[in-house]
């Protein structure tokens, strides 16, 4: 083997080419294991040693629904072996799937002896209550370990720096008064407007600047709404955004969205007069390296995710495929990105032609995927 070939075998697989499996334990102490999938390992061998590698199944042991077998892998004249295991589910009888699991397990192990996926033995130990949380933990470790890419950052203008500082102070002031009002309802901390100027700049950040705002308690979200109405002088009698009805029905999430939409239209930080929003200048988004070589694809504005994910999204043909491509992205990140995508591509939120809004709280990936499909259909 040449040094270049060894380097190719030891190189990390793209994030999308990893599989995750539930192990032992329960609840948030459940152990999860990550593997390089078999298709990637075979492809790496094909690319690095075309026609110069082979596998062989050796001795097989079976007992009560359990299969163990020896898998040999020969690469460039070097042969190594490892043992694969397969377990039957339910009845305990051995099936074709049992053997297939054993062969796949053995192939992964022996491929690792040549360097393919060997880095996973030193990866973070994952304990999580569900598969989604487990994938996010692994994705965070993967990005920190292999993707320390310096982003292209646009230098903010003096006005933007000032607006950001004002918005941060507004959010802190409002949040402090909301906390006070919840702890001491008699203090009437929400009944008078804040003395901090620039509330309009802070409204969008109050909602989208907190990634998990959709998961806030109804009590706290209701307090945020009450504060917003007081601070903005929202015309409750005319109710131009239609939030009062939602508020009275205690549909605070829907009411909060309506308040955000109404306030954002009036905020200098989100106006369409050539200024910039809190998310940066939408029209000047740098082309993600993950999609630069995908023919005919116009990437969504301000795409903030890993190049591998961006490329998978670019190549996806349906909203289902787009959602699958984003499976390693944290739900809170997708929740925070969704309003940015809506704003950037001009998705008609009141009409909601793709019926995306209802998924924002529980399935933000679906919401993002549907808006992305709508965006493509407008081209």
Does residue 353 lie within any of the structural domains? Answer: yes
Q: Do both 299 and 353 map to the same domain?
A: yes
| CA-closest candidate to residue 223, choices 196, 255, 200, 264 | 255
Q: What are phi and psi of 243, to 5 degrees?
A: -90, -20
Q: Residue 94 phi/psi, 5° resolution?
A: -80, 130
Report the pLDDT value the prediction gives residue 253, as an integer from 0 to 100.
Answer: 66
Query: What would the mean pLDDT of 253-264 be, rounded to a whole number?
Result: 71
Angle between helices 218-232 and 252-264 (to 10 degrees): 30
pLDDT at 297 exceeding the cut of 70? no
Among 146, 177, 197, residue at a domain's last position: 146
Residues 176 and 296 in one domain: no
Query: Is 283 within the bounds of a domain?
Result: no
3-12, 51-60, 211-220: which has the minimum mean pLDDT? 211-220
Does residue 24 or residue 297 have the better pLDDT? 24
Q: Is 103 within a domain?
A: yes
Residues of the domain holding 296? 288-377
Residue the block writes with tokens 């793709």: 354
Which of the listed residues 118, 146, 174 is the one where a domain comes to its end? Answer: 146
Q: How far apart are the C-alpha atoms of 374 and 79, rounded to whole Å?
A: 52
* Same-domain status, 15 and 111: yes
Quote the number of domains for the chain. 3
pLDDT band, very low/low/confident/very high, at 111 (cuts 50, 70, 90): very high
Q: Is the domain of 187 the same as that of 75?
A: no
What are 152-208's pLDDT values in tens digits? Answer: 445 556 665 665 566 566 666 666 766 777 777 676 666 666 555 454 445 544 544
Q: Is residue 74's pLDDT more than 90?
A: yes
Q: Is the pLDDT of residue 75 over 70?
A: yes
Residue 110 lies in a domain: yes
Give the DSSP H or E segment for 53: strand 53-63
Last residue of some domain: 211, 243, 270?
270
- What pLDDT, in 10s, does the model give residues 201-211? 455 445 444 43
Are 49 and 117 in the same domain?
yes
Q: Does 114 share its domain with 25?
A: yes
Same domain, 66 and 92: yes
CB 80 within 8 A of CB 113: yes
- Residue 124, in any domain of the structure: yes
In terms of domains, do 104 and 175 share one? no
Would 282 be classed as within a structural domain? no
In this prediction, residue 271 carries a pLDDT of: 39
125 and 182 inside one domain: no
Weakest mean pLDDT among 98-107, 131-140, 165-174, 295-304: 165-174
DSSP notation for 89-155: -SS----HHHHHHHHHHHHHHHHHTTTTTGGGGGS--EE-SSHHHHHHHHHHHHHHHH--PPP--PP
Same domain, 124 and 92: yes
Half-sphere exposure of 131 (CA within 13 A, CB side): 6
How many CB atoms neighbour CB 144 within 10 A? 10
Judge whether 280 lies within some domain: no
Confidence of residue 287 (pLDDT cuts 50, 70, 90): very low
Tens-digit pLDDT profile for residues 309-343: 777 888 888 888 888 878 767 777 787 788 878 87
What pLDDT was estimated at residue 36?
A: 92
The answer to the question of residue 54 being in a domain is yes
CATH number at residue 108: 3.30.390.80
* pLDDT at residue 272, rounded to an integer: 38
Shared-domain flag, residues 87 and 129: yes
Q: How confident is the model at residue 41 (pLDDT cuts 50, 70, 90)?
A: very high
Shared-domain flag, residues 94 and 172: no
């Amino acid at each position: 083997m040449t040094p270049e070939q060894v380097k190719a075998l030891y190189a990390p697989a793209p994030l999308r080419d990893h599989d995750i499996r539930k192990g032992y334990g329960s609840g948030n102490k459940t152990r999860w294991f990550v593997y390089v999938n078999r298709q990637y390992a075979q492809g790496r061998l094909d690319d690095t040693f075309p026609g110069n590698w082979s596998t062989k199944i050796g001795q097989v042991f079976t007992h009560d629904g359990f299969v163990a077998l020896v898998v040999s892998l020969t690469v460039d004249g070097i042969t190594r072996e490892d043992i694969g295991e397969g377990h039957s589910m339910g009845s305990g009888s051995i099936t074709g799937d049992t053997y297939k699991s054993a062969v796949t397990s053995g192939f992964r192990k022996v491929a690792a002896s040549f360097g393919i996926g060997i880095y996973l033995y030193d990866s973070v130990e994952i304990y999580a209550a569900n598969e989604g949380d487990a994938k996010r933990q692994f994705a965070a470790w993967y990005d920190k370990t292999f993707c320390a890419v310096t982003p292209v950052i646009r230098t903010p203008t003096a006005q933007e720096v000032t607006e950001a500082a004002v918005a941060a102070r507004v959010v802190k002031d409002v949040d402090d008064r909301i906390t006070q009002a919840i702890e001491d309802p008699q203090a009437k901390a929400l009944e008078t407007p804040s003395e901090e100027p620039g509330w309009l700049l802070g409204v969008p950040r109050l909602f989208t600047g907190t990634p998990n705002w959709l998961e806030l308690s109804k009590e706290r979200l209701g307090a945020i709404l009450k504060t917003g109405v007081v601070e903005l002088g929202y015309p409750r009698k005319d109710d131009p955004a239609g939030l009062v009805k939602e508020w009275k029905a205690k549909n605070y999430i829907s009411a909060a969205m309506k308040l955000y939409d109404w306030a954002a239209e009036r905020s200098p930080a989100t106006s369409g007069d050539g200024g910039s929003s809190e998310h940066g200048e939408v029209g000047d988004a740098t082309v993600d390296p993950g999609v630069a070589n995908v023919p005919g694809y116009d990437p969504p504005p301000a795409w903030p995710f890993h190049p591998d994910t961006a490329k998978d999204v670019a190549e996806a043909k349906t909203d289902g495929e787009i959602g699958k491509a984003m499976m390693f992205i944290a739900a809170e990140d997708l929740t925070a990105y969704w309003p940015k995508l809506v704003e950037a591509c001009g998705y008609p939120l009141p009409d909601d032609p793709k019926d995306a809004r209802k998924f924002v709280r529980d399935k933000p990936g679906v919401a993002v995927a549907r808006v992305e499909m709508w965006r493509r259909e407008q081209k």
